[in-house]
Structure 1
Amino acid sequence: MTGMNEAAPTYLQDVAAVAAKLRAHSGPIVVLSHENPDGDALGSVLGLTRALRALGKLVVAPIDVPRYLRFLPEEGELSGPLGEWPEGALAAVLDVDNNDPTRVAGADLTTFTGEVVNIDHHGTNARRAAALVVDPGQPATAMMVADVVDALGAPWSEAIATPLLLGLSTDTGSFRFDSVTPRAFEAAARLRAHGARLGWLSDQLGQNPRSYYTLLREVLGTLEFLHGGRVVLARVDEAMLERTGATWEDAETYVSLLRSAEGSVLAVLAKDYGDRVKFSLRSRGHVSAQNIAVALGGGGHVPAAGATVPLPYPEARARLEEAASQELARVDAAANGSSI
Protein backbone atom coordinates (compact mmCIF):
# COMPACT_ATOMS: atom_id res chain seq x y z
CA MET A 1 0.00 0.00 0.00
CA THR A 2 2.75 2.41 0.94
CA GLY A 3 5.48 1.53 -1.51
CA MET A 4 6.68 -1.33 0.71
CA ASN A 5 8.74 -2.81 -2.11
CA GLU A 6 11.13 0.11 -1.56
CA ALA A 7 11.35 -0.41 2.22
CA ALA A 8 14.27 -2.09 3.99
CA PRO A 9 14.08 -5.91 4.04
CA THR A 10 14.08 -6.04 7.85
CA TYR A 11 11.14 -3.65 7.97
CA LEU A 12 9.21 -5.81 5.51
CA GLN A 13 10.00 -8.90 7.57
CA ASP A 14 8.82 -7.21 10.76
CA VAL A 15 5.58 -6.06 9.12
CA ALA A 16 4.97 -9.60 7.86
CA ALA A 17 5.67 -11.07 11.31
CA VAL A 18 3.20 -8.72 13.03
CA ALA A 19 0.54 -9.41 10.39
CA ALA A 20 1.09 -13.16 10.68
CA LYS A 21 0.71 -13.05 14.46
CA LEU A 22 -2.51 -11.02 14.22
CA ARG A 23 -3.92 -13.16 11.42
CA ALA A 24 -3.18 -16.46 13.18
CA HIS A 25 -4.68 -15.48 16.54
CA SER A 26 -8.09 -17.04 16.98
CA GLY A 27 -9.04 -15.32 20.25
CA PRO A 28 -9.81 -11.70 21.08
CA ILE A 29 -7.33 -8.99 20.12
CA VAL A 30 -7.07 -5.98 22.43
CA VAL A 31 -5.79 -2.89 20.59
CA LEU A 32 -4.15 -0.28 22.82
CA SER A 33 -2.26 2.98 22.57
CA HIS A 34 -0.85 5.64 24.89
CA GLU A 35 -2.43 7.92 27.45
CA ASN A 36 -3.80 11.23 26.16
CA PRO A 37 -4.11 9.84 22.62
CA ASP A 38 -3.35 12.12 19.70
CA GLY A 39 -4.38 11.78 16.08
CA ASP A 40 -1.73 9.17 15.33
CA ALA A 41 -2.71 7.05 18.33
CA LEU A 42 -6.45 7.15 17.64
CA GLY A 43 -6.04 6.86 13.88
CA SER A 44 -3.79 3.83 14.25
CA VAL A 45 -6.15 2.14 16.72
CA LEU A 46 -9.21 2.73 14.55
CA GLY A 47 -7.48 1.74 11.32
CA LEU A 48 -6.17 -1.55 12.69
CA THR A 49 -9.36 -2.32 14.62
CA ARG A 50 -11.55 -1.85 11.56
CA ALA A 51 -9.19 -3.90 9.37
CA LEU A 52 -9.13 -6.78 11.84
CA ARG A 53 -12.91 -6.73 12.21
CA ALA A 54 -13.22 -6.81 8.42
CA LEU A 55 -11.33 -10.11 8.62
CA GLY A 56 -13.79 -11.46 11.17
CA LYS A 57 -11.59 -10.95 14.23
CA LEU A 58 -13.02 -10.21 17.68
CA VAL A 59 -11.42 -6.88 18.63
CA VAL A 60 -11.64 -4.82 21.81
CA ALA A 61 -10.29 -1.27 21.58
CA PRO A 62 -10.33 0.54 24.94
CA ILE A 63 -9.32 4.15 24.40
CA ASP A 64 -10.36 7.44 25.98
CA VAL A 65 -10.93 9.69 22.97
CA PRO A 66 -10.18 13.39 23.55
CA ARG A 67 -12.99 15.78 22.70
CA TYR A 68 -11.35 17.25 19.61
CA LEU A 69 -11.15 13.78 18.02
CA ARG A 70 -14.58 12.45 18.96
CA PHE A 71 -15.90 13.13 15.48
CA LEU A 72 -13.96 10.11 14.16
CA PRO A 73 -15.09 6.90 15.94
CA GLU A 74 -18.50 5.44 15.36
CA GLU A 75 -20.79 4.84 18.32
CA GLY A 76 -19.96 1.63 20.15
CA GLU A 77 -16.82 0.64 18.26
CA LEU A 78 -14.48 1.67 21.09
CA SER A 79 -14.75 0.81 24.77
CA GLY A 80 -13.73 2.16 28.15
CA PRO A 81 -10.76 0.81 30.14
CA LEU A 82 -10.67 -2.94 30.71
CA GLY A 83 -11.17 -4.17 34.26
CA GLU A 84 -9.79 -7.57 33.30
CA TRP A 85 -8.25 -9.15 30.23
CA PRO A 86 -10.42 -11.34 27.98
CA GLU A 87 -9.46 -14.99 28.11
CA GLY A 88 -6.97 -15.93 25.41
CA ALA A 89 -6.32 -12.34 24.39
CA LEU A 90 -3.50 -11.00 22.23
CA ALA A 91 -2.47 -7.38 22.86
CA ALA A 92 -1.64 -5.06 19.97
CA VAL A 93 0.09 -1.96 21.32
CA LEU A 94 0.35 0.97 18.91
CA ASP A 95 2.33 4.23 18.94
CA VAL A 96 3.89 3.50 22.34
CA ASP A 97 6.43 1.08 23.79
CA ASN A 98 4.65 -1.90 25.36
CA ASN A 99 7.56 -2.11 27.81
CA ASP A 100 6.40 1.14 29.44
CA PRO A 101 3.09 0.08 31.03
CA THR A 102 2.73 3.44 32.76
CA ARG A 103 2.15 5.04 29.35
CA VAL A 104 -0.04 2.35 27.82
CA ALA A 105 -3.68 3.23 28.48
CA GLY A 106 -6.88 1.21 28.39
CA ALA A 107 -5.66 -1.94 30.14
CA ASP A 108 -3.02 -2.93 32.70
CA LEU A 109 -0.15 -4.59 30.88
CA THR A 110 1.53 -5.54 34.16
CA THR A 111 -1.22 -8.15 34.72
CA PHE A 112 -1.23 -9.45 31.15
CA THR A 113 0.18 -12.94 30.56
CA GLY A 114 -0.51 -13.28 26.83
CA GLU A 115 1.52 -12.29 23.79
CA VAL A 116 2.04 -8.70 22.68
CA VAL A 117 2.63 -7.25 19.23
CA ASN A 118 3.99 -3.73 19.04
CA ILE A 119 3.87 -1.15 16.22
CA ASP A 120 5.69 2.06 17.07
CA HIS A 121 7.97 4.76 15.67
CA HIS A 122 9.59 6.10 18.85
CA GLY A 123 13.37 5.85 19.04
CA THR A 124 13.29 5.08 22.78
CA ASN A 125 11.34 1.83 22.23
CA ALA A 126 12.96 -1.13 24.04
CA ARG A 127 11.95 -3.51 21.21
CA ARG A 128 10.69 -6.46 23.24
CA ALA A 129 7.49 -8.16 22.02
CA ALA A 130 6.33 -11.44 20.48
CA ALA A 131 6.30 -9.63 17.12
CA LEU A 132 7.04 -6.00 16.46
CA VAL A 133 7.69 -3.38 13.84
CA VAL A 134 9.52 -0.42 15.38
CA ASP A 135 11.06 2.14 13.06
CA PRO A 136 11.92 5.68 14.23
CA GLY A 137 12.44 6.61 10.58
CA GLN A 138 8.71 6.37 9.94
CA PRO A 139 6.91 9.72 10.37
CA ALA A 140 3.77 8.17 11.89
CA THR A 141 2.67 4.88 13.37
CA ALA A 142 -0.43 5.10 11.18
CA MET A 143 1.77 4.73 8.11
CA MET A 144 3.20 1.52 9.57
CA VAL A 145 -0.28 0.25 10.43
CA ALA A 146 -1.24 0.81 6.79
CA ASP A 147 1.59 -1.53 5.78
CA VAL A 148 0.34 -4.11 8.28
CA VAL A 149 -3.19 -3.80 6.86
CA ASP A 150 -1.75 -4.60 3.45
CA ALA A 151 0.15 -7.58 4.83
CA LEU A 152 -3.00 -8.82 6.58
CA GLY A 153 -4.83 -8.87 3.26
CA ALA A 154 -7.72 -6.91 4.76
CA PRO A 155 -10.10 -5.29 2.27
CA TRP A 156 -9.46 -1.57 2.07
CA SER A 157 -12.30 0.87 2.68
CA GLU A 158 -12.81 4.55 3.40
CA ALA A 159 -13.48 3.62 7.04
CA ILE A 160 -9.97 2.16 7.36
CA ALA A 161 -8.16 4.72 5.21
CA THR A 162 -9.58 7.88 6.81
CA PRO A 163 -8.29 7.35 10.38
CA LEU A 164 -4.90 6.28 9.05
CA LEU A 165 -4.67 9.48 7.00
CA LEU A 166 -5.57 11.39 10.17
CA GLY A 167 -2.64 9.79 11.97
CA LEU A 168 -0.21 10.43 9.13
CA SER A 169 -1.35 14.04 8.71
CA THR A 170 -1.31 15.01 12.38
CA ASP A 171 2.06 13.43 13.22
CA THR A 172 3.71 15.19 10.28
CA GLY A 173 2.19 18.58 11.10
CA SER A 174 0.10 18.37 7.94
CA PHE A 175 3.25 17.31 6.05
CA ARG A 176 5.26 20.32 7.24
CA PHE A 177 7.85 18.52 9.41
CA ASP A 178 11.26 17.31 8.26
CA SER A 179 10.21 13.81 9.30
CA VAL A 180 8.14 13.61 6.08
CA THR A 181 9.65 11.13 3.62
CA PRO A 182 8.86 10.48 -0.03
CA ARG A 183 7.08 7.30 1.07
CA ALA A 184 4.87 9.40 3.37
CA PHE A 185 3.49 11.26 0.36
CA GLU A 186 3.03 7.95 -1.45
CA ALA A 187 1.17 6.58 1.57
CA ALA A 188 -1.10 9.62 1.69
CA ALA A 189 -1.85 9.30 -2.02
CA ARG A 190 -2.77 5.64 -1.66
CA LEU A 191 -4.94 6.30 1.38
CA ARG A 192 -6.74 8.97 -0.65
CA ALA A 193 -7.15 6.44 -3.43
CA HIS A 194 -8.81 4.14 -0.90
CA GLY A 195 -11.31 6.89 -0.10
CA ALA A 196 -9.74 8.71 2.87
CA ARG A 197 -11.76 11.89 3.50
CA LEU A 198 -9.03 14.53 3.64
CA GLY A 199 -11.29 17.58 3.35
CA TRP A 200 -13.64 16.29 6.02
CA LEU A 201 -10.75 15.59 8.38
CA SER A 202 -9.31 19.06 7.87
CA ASP A 203 -12.66 20.71 8.49
CA GLN A 204 -13.32 18.72 11.66
CA LEU A 205 -9.84 19.33 13.07
CA GLY A 206 -10.14 23.07 12.38
CA GLN A 207 -13.11 23.55 14.72
CA ASN A 208 -12.56 24.62 18.33
CA PRO A 209 -15.04 25.27 21.15
CA ARG A 210 -15.40 28.75 22.64
CA SER A 211 -13.49 27.62 25.76
CA TYR A 212 -10.43 27.01 23.57
CA TYR A 213 -10.20 30.72 22.87
CA THR A 214 -11.08 31.99 26.35
CA LEU A 215 -8.41 29.74 27.85
CA LEU A 216 -5.90 30.72 25.16
CA ARG A 217 -6.33 34.37 26.17
CA GLU A 218 -5.20 33.51 29.71
CA VAL A 219 -2.38 31.21 28.62
CA LEU A 220 -0.93 33.87 26.32
CA GLY A 221 -0.80 36.13 29.37
CA THR A 222 1.88 33.81 30.80
CA LEU A 223 3.99 33.89 27.65
CA GLU A 224 7.77 34.23 28.13
CA PHE A 225 10.59 34.47 25.63
CA LEU A 226 13.79 32.99 27.03
CA HIS A 227 17.35 32.60 25.78
CA GLY A 228 17.07 35.63 23.56
CA GLY A 229 13.78 34.45 22.10
CA ARG A 230 15.03 31.01 21.15
CA VAL A 231 12.73 29.41 23.72
CA VAL A 232 9.07 30.33 24.10
CA LEU A 233 7.29 29.14 27.24
CA ALA A 234 3.69 29.34 28.43
CA ARG A 235 1.83 27.79 31.35
CA VAL A 236 -1.71 26.61 32.11
CA ASP A 237 -3.10 25.59 35.50
CA GLU A 238 -6.35 24.52 37.13
CA ALA A 239 -7.31 28.05 38.16
CA MET A 240 -7.28 29.15 34.50
CA LEU A 241 -9.53 26.25 33.59
CA GLU A 242 -12.01 27.16 36.32
CA ARG A 243 -12.13 30.83 35.29
CA THR A 244 -12.76 30.02 31.62
CA GLY A 245 -14.85 26.86 31.88
CA ALA A 246 -12.22 25.02 29.86
CA THR A 247 -10.66 21.58 30.23
CA TRP A 248 -7.11 20.31 29.88
CA GLU A 249 -8.03 19.06 26.42
CA ASP A 250 -8.56 22.63 25.26
CA ALA A 251 -4.85 23.27 25.78
CA GLU A 252 -3.60 20.23 23.86
CA THR A 253 -2.67 22.07 20.67
CA TYR A 254 -1.38 25.33 22.15
CA VAL A 255 2.24 24.20 22.00
CA SER A 256 2.04 24.03 18.20
CA LEU A 257 0.83 27.63 18.19
CA LEU A 258 3.79 28.65 20.36
CA ARG A 259 6.15 26.91 17.96
CA SER A 260 5.18 29.47 15.30
CA ALA A 261 6.91 32.30 17.18
CA GLU A 262 9.53 33.85 14.91
CA GLY A 263 13.09 33.14 16.01
CA SER A 264 12.16 30.32 18.38
CA VAL A 265 13.75 26.89 18.20
CA LEU A 266 11.95 25.40 21.21
CA ALA A 267 8.34 25.84 22.31
CA VAL A 268 7.17 24.62 25.71
CA LEU A 269 3.71 24.40 27.19
CA ALA A 270 3.70 23.65 30.90
CA LYS A 271 0.58 22.01 32.29
CA ASP A 272 0.78 22.77 35.99
CA TYR A 273 -1.19 20.22 38.02
CA GLY A 274 0.10 21.54 41.35
CA ASP A 275 2.10 18.54 42.52
CA ARG A 276 3.52 17.81 39.06
CA VAL A 277 4.08 19.51 35.71
CA LYS A 278 3.68 18.01 32.27
CA PHE A 279 5.87 19.68 29.66
CA SER A 280 4.90 19.48 25.99
CA LEU A 281 7.90 20.29 23.80
CA ARG A 282 8.24 21.20 20.12
CA SER A 283 11.55 22.03 18.45
CA ARG A 284 12.96 22.95 15.08
CA GLY A 285 16.33 22.98 13.39
CA HIS A 286 19.02 21.01 15.21
CA VAL A 287 17.41 21.36 18.63
CA SER A 288 16.04 18.08 19.95
CA ALA A 289 12.88 18.16 22.02
CA GLN A 290 13.52 14.46 22.60
CA ASN A 291 16.87 15.12 24.32
CA ILE A 292 15.22 17.60 26.69
CA ALA A 293 12.31 15.28 27.41
CA VAL A 294 14.59 12.33 28.13
CA ALA A 295 16.62 14.48 30.54
CA LEU A 296 13.36 15.20 32.36
CA GLY A 297 12.33 11.54 32.50
CA GLY A 298 10.10 11.54 29.41
CA GLY A 299 10.49 10.76 25.73
CA GLY A 300 9.14 11.24 22.24
CA HIS A 301 10.55 12.35 18.92
CA VAL A 302 13.25 14.86 17.99
CA PRO A 303 10.75 17.59 16.96
CA ALA A 304 7.98 16.66 19.41
CA ALA A 305 8.30 15.19 22.89
CA GLY A 306 7.01 15.44 26.42
CA ALA A 307 7.79 14.71 30.05
CA THR A 308 6.05 14.81 33.41
CA VAL A 309 8.14 16.11 36.30
CA PRO A 310 6.76 15.16 39.75
CA LEU A 311 7.56 18.51 41.33
CA PRO A 312 5.79 21.85 41.90
CA TYR A 313 6.10 24.29 39.01
CA PRO A 314 9.04 26.41 40.28
CA GLU A 315 11.22 23.34 40.79
CA ALA A 316 10.02 21.63 37.63
CA ARG A 317 10.69 24.78 35.63
CA ALA A 318 14.25 24.92 37.00
CA ARG A 319 14.76 21.36 35.77
CA LEU A 320 13.35 22.35 32.38
CA GLU A 321 15.63 25.37 32.06
CA GLU A 322 18.67 23.29 32.95
CA ALA A 323 17.81 20.65 30.34
CA ALA A 324 17.00 23.26 27.69
CA SER A 325 20.24 25.15 28.38
CA GLN A 326 22.26 21.97 27.97
CA GLU A 327 20.56 21.18 24.68
CA LEU A 328 21.06 24.69 23.32
CA ALA A 329 24.71 24.54 24.39
CA ARG A 330 25.10 21.24 22.55
CA VAL A 331 23.63 22.72 19.38
CA ASP A 332 25.79 25.83 19.63
CA ALA A 333 28.93 23.77 20.21
CA ALA A 334 28.16 21.60 17.20
CA ALA A 335 27.63 24.70 15.07
CA ASN A 336 31.02 26.04 16.18
CA GLY A 337 32.76 22.74 15.45
CA SER A 338 33.43 21.83 19.05
CA SER A 339 31.95 19.34 21.51
CA ILE A 340 30.71 19.55 25.09
Structure 2
Amino acid sequence: MIGGNAFSRCSSLAAITIPDGMSTIGDEAFSRCSSLTAITIPDGVTMIGDHAFSGCSSLTAIIIPDGVTTIGNSAFEECDSLTAITIPEGVTTISRSAFYGCSSLTAITIPDGVTTIDVRAFQNCSSLAAIIIPEGVTTIGDGSFHGCSSLAAITIPDGVTTIGDGAFYECTSLAAITIPDSVTTIGWSAFYGCTALTKLILSPAVSIGRKCFYDCTALIAAAADQNMSTVEDLLHYRWHRNVAVIERVNALLCLKGTWDHVENQLSGPDSLKQKRMDGVEAPLRATEAREKIPKVLWRVILEFL
Protein backbone atom coordinates (compact mmCIF):
# COMPACT_ATOMS: atom_id res chain seq x y z
CA MET A 1 0.00 0.00 0.00
CA ILE A 2 1.07 3.54 -0.79
CA GLY A 3 -0.28 5.48 2.17
CA GLY A 4 -2.25 8.69 2.24
CA ASN A 5 -0.25 11.81 1.35
CA ALA A 6 2.84 9.66 0.66
CA PHE A 7 4.10 11.91 -2.15
CA SER A 8 1.62 14.76 -1.83
CA ARG A 9 2.89 18.10 -3.15
CA CYS A 10 6.19 16.66 -4.39
CA SER A 11 6.27 19.34 -7.05
CA SER A 12 9.56 18.16 -8.62
CA LEU A 13 8.53 14.50 -9.03
CA ALA A 14 8.28 13.85 -12.78
CA ALA A 15 7.86 10.06 -13.08
CA ILE A 16 7.41 7.04 -10.82
CA THR A 17 6.91 3.28 -11.12
CA ILE A 18 4.87 1.67 -8.37
CA PRO A 19 6.36 -1.74 -7.46
CA ASP A 20 4.46 -5.01 -7.74
CA GLY A 21 2.63 -6.21 -4.65
CA MET A 22 0.83 -2.94 -3.96
CA SER A 23 -2.95 -3.21 -3.68
CA THR A 24 -3.94 0.34 -2.72
CA ILE A 25 -2.95 3.84 -3.69
CA GLY A 26 -4.03 5.84 -0.65
CA ASP A 27 -5.92 9.11 -0.37
CA GLU A 28 -3.96 12.08 -1.75
CA ALA A 29 -0.95 9.81 -2.37
CA PHE A 30 0.26 11.90 -5.34
CA SER A 31 -1.96 14.95 -4.88
CA ARG A 32 -0.53 18.19 -6.30
CA CYS A 33 2.55 16.54 -7.82
CA SER A 34 2.43 19.21 -10.47
CA SER A 35 5.46 17.96 -12.47
CA LEU A 36 4.37 14.32 -12.63
CA THR A 37 3.98 13.43 -16.32
CA ALA A 38 3.93 9.62 -16.26
CA ILE A 39 3.10 6.84 -13.82
CA THR A 40 2.80 3.05 -14.12
CA ILE A 41 0.24 1.35 -11.88
CA PRO A 42 0.91 -2.42 -11.47
CA ASP A 43 -1.71 -5.12 -11.97
CA GLY A 44 -2.12 -5.89 -8.27
CA VAL A 45 -3.67 -2.52 -7.42
CA THR A 46 -7.41 -2.73 -6.71
CA MET A 47 -8.13 0.69 -5.22
CA ILE A 48 -7.20 4.27 -6.11
CA GLY A 49 -8.05 6.50 -3.15
CA ASP A 50 -9.77 9.86 -2.86
CA HIS A 51 -7.76 12.73 -4.44
CA ALA A 52 -4.96 10.24 -5.24
CA PHE A 53 -3.81 12.19 -8.31
CA SER A 54 -5.79 15.41 -7.95
CA GLY A 55 -3.96 18.48 -9.16
CA CYS A 56 -1.34 16.49 -11.13
CA SER A 57 -1.54 19.14 -13.81
CA SER A 58 1.27 17.72 -16.02
CA LEU A 59 -0.02 14.14 -16.13
CA THR A 60 -0.83 13.40 -19.78
CA ALA A 61 -1.71 9.69 -19.72
CA ILE A 62 -2.28 6.89 -17.24
CA ILE A 63 -3.16 3.21 -17.59
CA ILE A 64 -5.44 1.86 -14.89
CA PRO A 65 -5.03 -1.95 -14.66
CA ASP A 66 -7.97 -4.33 -14.95
CA GLY A 67 -7.87 -5.28 -11.28
CA VAL A 68 -8.92 -1.83 -10.07
CA THR A 69 -12.49 -1.84 -8.77
CA THR A 70 -12.59 1.50 -6.93
CA ILE A 71 -11.59 4.94 -8.18
CA GLY A 72 -12.08 7.35 -5.30
CA ASN A 73 -13.74 10.76 -5.09
CA SER A 74 -11.79 13.44 -6.99
CA ALA A 75 -9.10 10.86 -7.85
CA PHE A 76 -8.07 12.70 -11.02
CA GLU A 77 -9.60 16.10 -10.29
CA GLU A 78 -7.93 18.95 -12.19
CA CYS A 79 -5.49 16.73 -14.07
CA ASP A 80 -5.85 19.27 -16.82
CA SER A 81 -3.24 17.77 -19.19
CA LEU A 82 -4.84 14.30 -19.18
CA THR A 83 -6.15 13.60 -22.69
CA ALA A 84 -7.51 10.05 -22.54
CA ILE A 85 -8.26 7.35 -20.00
CA THR A 86 -9.76 3.86 -19.97
CA ILE A 87 -11.69 2.76 -16.89
CA PRO A 88 -11.34 -1.00 -16.20
CA GLU A 89 -14.25 -3.44 -16.27
CA GLY A 90 -14.38 -4.01 -12.50
CA VAL A 91 -15.36 -0.42 -11.68
CA THR A 92 -19.08 0.02 -10.91
CA THR A 93 -19.21 3.70 -9.93
CA ILE A 94 -17.61 6.78 -11.50
CA SER A 95 -17.12 8.51 -8.17
CA ARG A 96 -17.89 12.07 -7.11
CA SER A 97 -15.73 14.59 -9.02
CA ALA A 98 -13.48 11.74 -10.23
CA PHE A 99 -12.47 13.62 -13.40
CA TYR A 100 -13.62 17.12 -12.44
CA GLY A 101 -11.78 19.82 -14.39
CA CYS A 102 -9.84 17.48 -16.71
CA SER A 103 -10.06 20.16 -19.37
CA SER A 104 -7.90 18.35 -21.97
CA LEU A 105 -9.75 15.04 -21.72
CA THR A 106 -11.11 14.26 -25.19
CA ALA A 107 -11.91 10.55 -24.85
CA ILE A 108 -12.92 8.20 -22.07
CA THR A 109 -14.15 4.62 -22.08
CA ILE A 110 -16.75 3.68 -19.47
CA PRO A 111 -17.13 -0.09 -18.97
CA ASP A 112 -20.41 -1.99 -19.02
CA GLY A 113 -20.29 -2.73 -15.29
CA VAL A 114 -20.75 0.91 -14.28
CA THR A 115 -24.18 1.62 -12.76
CA THR A 116 -23.69 5.14 -11.38
CA ILE A 117 -22.09 8.29 -12.71
CA ASP A 118 -21.79 10.28 -9.51
CA VAL A 119 -22.05 13.98 -8.73
CA ARG A 120 -19.75 16.21 -10.84
CA ALA A 121 -17.91 13.15 -12.22
CA PHE A 122 -16.96 14.89 -15.49
CA GLN A 123 -17.78 18.50 -14.66
CA ASN A 124 -15.77 21.06 -16.65
CA CYS A 125 -14.22 18.45 -18.95
CA SER A 126 -14.46 21.13 -21.62
CA SER A 127 -12.70 19.15 -24.41
CA LEU A 128 -14.85 16.00 -24.09
CA ALA A 129 -16.72 15.78 -27.40
CA ALA A 130 -18.63 12.51 -27.14
CA ILE A 131 -19.32 9.80 -24.60
CA ILE A 132 -21.20 6.50 -24.55
CA ILE A 133 -22.97 5.68 -21.31
CA PRO A 134 -23.24 1.89 -20.90
CA GLU A 135 -26.56 0.06 -20.57
CA GLY A 136 -26.14 -0.71 -16.86
CA VAL A 137 -26.13 2.92 -15.72
CA THR A 138 -29.24 3.91 -13.77
CA THR A 139 -28.22 7.32 -12.38
CA ILE A 140 -26.55 10.33 -13.97
CA GLY A 141 -25.64 12.44 -10.95
CA ASP A 142 -25.98 16.15 -10.24
CA GLY A 143 -23.64 18.23 -12.39
CA SER A 144 -22.00 15.12 -13.85
CA PHE A 145 -21.39 16.76 -17.27
CA HIS A 146 -21.79 20.39 -16.18
CA GLY A 147 -19.68 22.69 -18.36
CA CYS A 148 -18.69 20.03 -20.91
CA SER A 149 -18.85 22.72 -23.58
CA SER A 150 -17.52 20.53 -26.43
CA LEU A 151 -19.93 17.66 -25.78
CA ALA A 152 -21.87 17.32 -29.03
CA ALA A 153 -23.15 13.77 -28.74
CA ILE A 154 -24.25 11.54 -25.89
CA THR A 155 -26.39 8.42 -25.76
CA ILE A 156 -28.51 7.84 -22.66
CA PRO A 157 -29.39 4.12 -22.34
CA ASP A 158 -32.80 2.69 -21.49
CA GLY A 159 -31.85 1.75 -17.94
CA VAL A 160 -31.32 5.32 -16.71
CA THR A 161 -34.06 6.45 -14.33
CA THR A 162 -32.66 9.72 -12.98
CA ILE A 163 -30.86 12.66 -14.56
CA GLY A 164 -29.67 14.86 -11.72
CA ASP A 165 -29.74 18.61 -11.12
CA GLY A 166 -27.52 20.48 -13.57
CA ALA A 167 -26.36 17.22 -15.16
CA PHE A 168 -25.81 18.83 -18.59
CA TYR A 169 -25.73 22.46 -17.46
CA GLU A 170 -24.15 24.67 -20.16
CA CYS A 171 -23.25 21.85 -22.53
CA THR A 172 -23.29 24.48 -25.25
CA SER A 173 -22.45 22.14 -28.16
CA LEU A 174 -25.15 19.55 -27.45
CA ALA A 175 -27.54 19.70 -30.41
CA ALA A 176 -29.91 16.77 -29.87
CA ILE A 177 -30.77 14.33 -27.15
CA THR A 178 -33.16 11.43 -26.72
CA ILE A 179 -34.28 10.73 -23.17
CA PRO A 180 -35.57 7.15 -22.88
CA ASP A 181 -38.90 6.16 -21.35
CA SER A 182 -37.11 4.68 -18.35
CA VAL A 183 -36.21 8.17 -17.10
CA THR A 184 -38.75 9.29 -14.50
CA THR A 185 -36.97 12.37 -13.13
CA ILE A 186 -34.96 15.16 -14.73
CA GLY A 187 -33.54 17.49 -12.12
CA TRP A 188 -33.43 21.23 -11.67
CA SER A 189 -31.48 23.07 -14.42
CA ALA A 190 -30.46 19.74 -15.99
CA PHE A 191 -30.12 21.25 -19.49
CA TYR A 192 -29.85 24.91 -18.48
CA GLY A 193 -27.98 26.95 -21.11
CA CYS A 194 -27.70 24.20 -23.74
CA THR A 195 -27.85 26.87 -26.41
CA ALA A 196 -27.29 24.54 -29.41
CA LEU A 197 -30.06 22.10 -28.44
CA THR A 198 -32.61 21.94 -31.24
CA LYS A 199 -34.11 18.47 -30.88
CA LEU A 200 -35.42 16.83 -27.74
CA ILE A 201 -37.37 13.60 -27.32
CA LEU A 202 -38.91 13.01 -23.89
CA SER A 203 -40.79 10.32 -22.06
CA PRO A 204 -44.49 11.12 -21.52
CA ALA A 205 -44.39 10.58 -17.76
CA VAL A 206 -41.11 12.31 -16.91
CA SER A 207 -41.02 14.74 -13.98
CA ILE A 208 -39.09 17.86 -14.95
CA GLY A 209 -37.37 20.15 -12.44
CA ARG A 210 -37.35 23.96 -12.37
CA LYS A 211 -35.43 25.75 -15.12
CA CYS A 212 -34.67 22.42 -16.73
CA PHE A 213 -34.45 23.91 -20.24
CA TYR A 214 -33.86 27.53 -19.26
CA ASP A 215 -31.93 29.53 -21.90
CA CYS A 216 -32.05 26.69 -24.44
CA THR A 217 -32.42 29.37 -27.09
CA ALA A 218 -32.36 27.05 -30.10
CA LEU A 219 -34.88 24.58 -28.77
CA ILE A 220 -37.78 25.20 -31.13
CA ALA A 221 -39.04 21.67 -31.68
CA ALA A 222 -39.85 18.67 -29.54
CA ALA A 223 -41.47 15.30 -30.12
CA ALA A 224 -42.98 14.20 -26.86
CA ASP A 225 -46.31 12.89 -25.58
CA GLN A 226 -46.54 14.74 -22.28
CA ASN A 227 -49.25 15.69 -19.87
CA MET A 228 -50.80 19.08 -20.53
CA SER A 229 -49.41 20.88 -17.51
CA THR A 230 -45.89 19.83 -18.37
CA VAL A 231 -46.27 21.02 -21.96
CA GLU A 232 -47.63 24.36 -20.77
CA ASP A 233 -44.86 24.78 -18.24
CA LEU A 234 -42.09 23.99 -20.70
CA LEU A 235 -43.50 26.14 -23.47
CA HIS A 236 -43.97 29.28 -21.46
CA TYR A 237 -41.28 29.29 -18.86
CA ARG A 238 -38.36 26.99 -19.64
CA TRP A 239 -37.68 26.18 -23.26
CA HIS A 240 -37.06 29.55 -24.79
CA ARG A 241 -35.94 33.08 -24.19
CA ASN A 242 -36.38 33.81 -27.87
CA VAL A 243 -38.95 36.46 -28.77
CA ALA A 244 -39.54 35.01 -32.24
CA VAL A 245 -40.41 31.63 -30.75
CA ILE A 246 -42.71 33.26 -28.19
CA GLU A 247 -44.53 35.08 -31.01
CA ARG A 248 -45.03 31.82 -32.93
CA VAL A 249 -46.35 30.06 -29.84
CA ASN A 250 -48.68 33.00 -29.22
CA ALA A 251 -49.94 32.94 -32.81
CA LEU A 252 -50.71 29.23 -32.69
CA LEU A 253 -52.51 29.49 -29.39
CA CYS A 254 -54.57 32.47 -30.49
CA LEU A 255 -55.39 30.72 -33.76
CA LYS A 256 -56.87 27.85 -31.77
CA GLY A 257 -58.88 30.26 -29.65
CA THR A 258 -57.94 28.53 -26.46
CA TRP A 259 -56.77 31.42 -24.29
CA ASP A 260 -58.57 34.04 -22.24
CA HIS A 261 -57.19 37.37 -21.11
CA VAL A 262 -56.16 38.10 -17.56
CA GLU A 263 -56.22 41.76 -16.77
CA ASN A 264 -54.23 43.80 -14.28
CA GLN A 265 -51.26 41.43 -14.08
CA LEU A 266 -47.61 42.41 -14.47
CA SER A 267 -46.00 41.31 -17.71
CA GLY A 268 -42.38 40.41 -18.33
CA PRO A 269 -40.08 39.38 -21.18
CA ASP A 270 -41.40 35.82 -21.08
CA SER A 271 -45.09 36.74 -20.93
CA LEU A 272 -47.36 35.54 -23.70
CA LYS A 273 -49.69 38.44 -24.48
CA GLN A 274 -52.47 39.29 -26.86
CA LYS A 275 -54.00 42.67 -27.55
CA ARG A 276 -57.63 43.00 -26.60
CA MET A 277 -60.10 44.81 -28.83
CA ASP A 278 -59.28 48.10 -27.06
CA GLY A 279 -55.56 47.64 -27.79
CA VAL A 280 -54.53 46.92 -24.19
CA GLU A 281 -52.14 44.02 -23.74
CA ALA A 282 -52.77 41.37 -21.10
CA PRO A 283 -51.12 38.06 -20.19
CA LEU A 284 -52.81 34.87 -21.31
CA ARG A 285 -54.07 31.91 -19.35
CA ALA A 286 -55.54 28.56 -20.27
CA THR A 287 -59.23 27.98 -20.73
CA GLU A 288 -61.26 24.78 -20.38
CA ALA A 289 -61.23 24.44 -24.15
CA ARG A 290 -57.45 24.50 -24.21
CA GLU A 291 -57.28 21.77 -21.56
CA LYS A 292 -59.29 19.53 -23.89
CA ILE A 293 -56.79 19.70 -26.76
CA PRO A 294 -55.61 16.13 -27.30
CA LYS A 295 -51.95 15.36 -26.71
CA VAL A 296 -51.44 14.28 -30.30
CA LEU A 297 -52.53 17.75 -31.49
CA TRP A 298 -50.10 19.39 -29.09
CA ARG A 299 -47.37 17.16 -30.49
CA VAL A 300 -48.13 18.48 -33.97
CA ILE A 301 -48.18 22.07 -32.70
CA LEU A 302 -44.84 21.62 -30.94
CA GLU A 303 -43.19 20.22 -34.04
CA PHE A 304 -44.20 23.30 -36.04
CA LEU A 305 -42.82 25.86 -33.55
- Normalising to structure 2: TM-score of the pair? 0.22
Q: Which has the higher contact order (CA 8 A, sep 6+)?
A: 1
Whose radius of gyration is greater, 1 or 2? Answer: 2
